[in-house]
Structure formats: structure tokens, C-alpha cells
Amino acid sequence: MLLDRQTADTVALVGAGLGAIGVGLGAVASLQLVRMRKAYAVLQGKGRRDDFVTAVNRHVDVVDGLRGEVASLQQGLAQVRHDLADALRHIAVVRYDAFPDMGGRLSFSAALLDDAGDGLVLTSINGRSETRTYAKGVKAGASEHQLSPEESQAIAHATRAARV
């Protein structure tokens, strides 16, 4: 069964085309293999020769350890936030002249409050011959003692700073 010349040429062209396609697919496969080997080398780490499953298991263990550390850090952060809420960190000072004949705004009222508006307000009244200092407790931004306008102003400034 001999083939005629035209059929033989067609079969040869189809064979050459399939061969070219095969060479192209082989080149693509070779490039993908090179990329996969590079990715695998990264997965293994420097100087290691683990198989794929061992390398993946090692990384899973590392990730699990990191998850535990993150959970521990989150707990610590929650404790710090809780402790910080009780810190006297909202502070405002109002300076003024307590007496009309005194200058220099040497008298002051200072509010020191935590996040809930609890704390104290300190007032120092400066006179010609003496200075008097008063401390009044503050609960939720108010005091059970009568507050001067300057003390109220200091508390208002400190609580405004707490909201910002």
C-alpha cells in the first residue's frame, strides 16, 4: 500500500506540524518546570533539601506558632487598653488672675481625668502674700463640691480632649 505523492506530502506536513506543536508544548512545560522548581526552592528555605510535604508541614507549623503569638499579643493589647482607660491622661490647665490687682495669670485650675471623666481638679490661687491650693474629686465629669468657673472650664477642656 503505497501512498501517492500528494498524500505523502500532506502526511509529512501534518507530522511536521504536530512535531512543532510538540516541541512548543515541551518548551512551555520546561519553563513551567523551572518556575515550579524556583517556587519549591523558596518553600524549602535556604540550605534545606526537604521533600514537598515536609516543607509544607514545616510552614504550617510555623503559621500555627504565629497564630498563637498573635492571639497572645491580642490578649496583652486588650489588657493594656483596659489599664490605660484608668490612667489620668486627659489633662487641661486654665490660667487666670484670681484677684483684679494681680497680674501674670499665676493662678490656675488643672483637671486630670481618665477616660470615664473620673479624677481630680487642682486649683492654686495666687495672692500677694500667699498661695492656696485646693483639690476636688471629679466623677463622670462632675464634682460633689462647688466648682469655680475656671475649674468647670478645665474639666470641660479635659473631657473634650477625651472625646477627640
**Sequential pLDDT tens for the chain (164 residues):** 566 888 888 989 999 999 999 999 999 999 999 998 887 777 777 767 777 778 788 888 989 999 999 999 999 999 998 888 888 889 999 999 988 887 788 899 999 999 899 999 999 999 888 999 999 999 998 999 999 999 999 999 998 865 55
Indicate if 60 and 120 belong to the same structural domain.
no
Residue 131 lies in a domain: yes
Indicate if 67 and 112 belong to the same structural domain.
no
Residue 3 lies in a domain: no
Indicate if 63 and 115 belong to the same structural domain.
no
Indicate if 103 and 158 belong to the same structural domain.
yes
CA distance 88 to 129: 32
Indicate if 95 and 77 belong to the same structural domain.
no
Q: Encode pLDDT of 19-53 as tens digits.
A: 999 999 999 999 999 998 887 777 777 767 777 77
pLDDT of residue 47: 67
pLDDT of residue 71: 93
Residue 107 lies in a domain: yes
Answer yes or no: are the C-beta atoms of 110 and 91 closer than 8 Å: yes
What residue type is 55 in one-letter code?
A
**DSSP readout, 4-70?**
PHHHHHHHHHHHHHHHHHHHHHHHHHHHHHHHHHHHHHHHH-TT----HHHHHHHHHHHHHHHHHHH
| Structural domain boundaries enclosing 121 | 90-163
Indicate if 145 and 104 belong to the same structural domain.
yes
Indicate if 94 and 128 belong to the same structural domain.
yes
Residue 26 lies in a domain: no
pLDDT of residue 42: 72
Residue 44 lies in a domain: yes
Indicate if 58 and 108 belong to the same structural domain.
no
Indicate if 57 and 106 belong to the same structural domain.
no
Indicate if 80 and 118 belong to the same structural domain.
no
Contacts of residue 83, Cβ cutoff 8 Å, sequence gap at least 6:
none
CA distance 155 to 142: 8
Number of domains in the chain: 2
Residue 57 lies in a domain: yes
Taking the whole predicted model, whether its pTM rises above 0.75 is answered as no
Residue 24 lies in a domain: no
Q: Can you say whether the dihedral through the CA atoms of 59, 60, 63, 68 is positive or negative?
A: negative
E strand or H helix at 164, and its extent? Answer: none
Indicate if 78 and 97 belong to the same structural domain.
no
